[in-house]
Structure 1
């Protein structure tokens, strides 16, 4: 990959994926961070990000210092009439960096309706892979909602770690984080004995590979009164839902007695949300179950793709304040 990759390059990659619905495939950009070891030598670690989140890759830009900056914020820079914050990714990850900034690259991201720049040591190539090849982190790595690795890809003799960029951005700029939302303080959401009792009659399945995001969604829905069960990826969710369908059939019950609605992310290891959606809509038990796709990459194109596969609606992850009322609209 050239050091300065124009927006058209990633746009083509995005379109290639957007034209295929529910294929359980994605493209990732592999990049590197160099670590200074105590003995003076260097170690290269490999990371990845979904192409759908990348606007372009550029050389280190001219930056302006920002007053009273957040930790690991290098500064801000101007790109195509937009002011974009630049984050020292190695610094945020606690990796002792190597080399001068002006010899590095910047990955400019565009998701959750925000643009950000991430400083990296190098960008190597784009991989097109199946989500089945994307592994969940081991129990050692998956330490909970503070973990920043959501998946791992094996390529040749190296491991590529997929980072939770939503978690990174919310940590650096808490004002933009879904963590700030408190459903109890939202005057648009009714939480009284009558509404809580109605919500308690419904069980929701929340599917997200980010423990951080999953916890926020669960807390919001439970606080409003809903019963919530969680799955860490599409494959995990499909196993749970298959079991529910079997139990419902054996006991001659509607599957809605076991799960009322499904709220799913799109990007997930093993099975992505769109492939999960496609499989559920081909299963008689889940033909009419309300399914909401809740993703950071919910562009207009991805929204149309999700709706064409049978989703009832879509949301972008910063819009968690709309979640309870949207669920109420489907179930109550």
Structure 2
């Protein structure tokens, strides 16, 4: 099953997306099974295929079944049920593989079945914090209610980083990055500035926050576009009450694209329609930043874009837009 390239996610900030619903069959102690419902953004999926022939990879990470060739690209196959800790059937031949393509990486995830594609509004995508206290180790970024089921949208960046730590943004250490000015004068200069970071993944949000904070920036963290917009409207009211410009209280926004309640593209659109935030530097930081998506982000009013593996560019980008445009 291949699918046409979807443009809904970033289509003029419509705040809509498409997700592929897929299933993993959990083996119960009594020998029965229970269907677990999961979802992934269509924009991250290259294709869904039958289980290919794989080759064992020496010293592979746990839950990595092997590697296979996907359109001439060497692709790891991950046992998703194993990673999630779900007891499963050992029968592999009847299963399927979701082949993903984001963050400039291709990966395969073993699943039991694919159901259908749902087109939904981000307004109908709920934050998992409504169900549980989501921490950095949580692998669910959002929840969708469909046909009496809860579909869990998984944090595939977190899963990939856990399985292949060498490719993780966690490897980046600003303290050893010679391209970043960390002298006391510059750190103090950044300490007078505040950046809002918006990402639904607690794992990614923490990495961005730590990177910017280590450079000296103050950070306001938000778990989705809805929370960010509400906080920014409160900041606008506070600025009016104090008789100052909004830029005295918030200096820039770094936002993900796909998030519950309000996606990043729609957030940018709403902010650019507001006189108070018309000139606020906004950088979109996403695993889905193709050339086409970058063009759409810039057209909506974002100042710049960056893909998630390039976290090392983030501080320099903030320096550029905050200090060189003052």
Using structure 1 for the length normalisation, give the TM-score: 0.96
Deviation at 1:301? 0.7
Contact 2:252 2:282 in 1 (8 A): yes
Tell which deviates more after alignment, 165-174 or 139-148.
Answer: 139-148
> Deviations for 1:23-77, whole angstroms, at most 9, x for unmatched residues?
0000000000001111111000000000000000000001000011100000000
Matched, 1:190 2:177: no
Aligned position for 2:221: 230
Alignment length (residue pairs): 323
Aligned 1:266-305 pairs, distance under 5 A: 266-305=257-296
Partner of residue 236 from structure 2, selected from 238, 245, 250: 245
Aligned position for 2:92: 101
Contact 1:142 1:149 in 2 (8 A): no
Contact 2:9 2:15 in 1 (8 A): no
Deviation at 1:290? 0.2
Partner of residue 65 from structure 1, selected from 51, 56, 60: 56
Deviation at 1:15? 3.4
Aligned position for 2:300: 309
Deviation at 1:99? 4.3
> Deviations for 1:269-317, whole angstroms, at most 9, x for unmatched residues?
0000000000000000000000000000011111000000000000000
Partner of residue 15 from structure 1, selected from 7, 27, 34: 7
Using structure 2 for the length normalisation, give the TM-score: 0.97
C-alpha distance in 1 between matches for 2:133 and 2:295: 33
C-alpha distance in 1 between matches for 2:186 and 2:311: 19
Q: SS in structure 2 opposite 1:70?
A: coil
Aligned position for 1:129: 120
Deviation at 1:207? 0.3
C-alpha distance in 2 between matches for 1:267 and 1:288: 23
Matched, 1:213 2:204: yes
Deviation at 1:152? 0.3
Gapped runs of 5+ residues in structure 2?
none
Partner of residue 193 from structure 2, selected from 192, 199, 202: 202
Contact 1:204 1:228 in 2 (8 A): yes
Deviation at 1:104? 0.4
Partner of residue 149 from structure 1, selected from 140, 143, 148: 140
Deviation at 1:139? 5.1
Deviation at 1:17? 4.5
Aligned position for 2:165: 174
Matched, 1:32 2:23: yes
- For the aligned residues, what is the CA RMSD? 1.0
C-alpha distance in 1 between matches for 2:66 and 2:221: 38
Q: SS in structure 1 opposite 2:93?
A: helix
Tell which deviates more after alignment, 275-284 or 141-150.
Answer: 141-150
Contact 2:8 2:17 in 1 (8 A): no
Q: 1:244 to 1:228 in 2, by over 3 A?
A: same
Aligned position for 2:37: 46
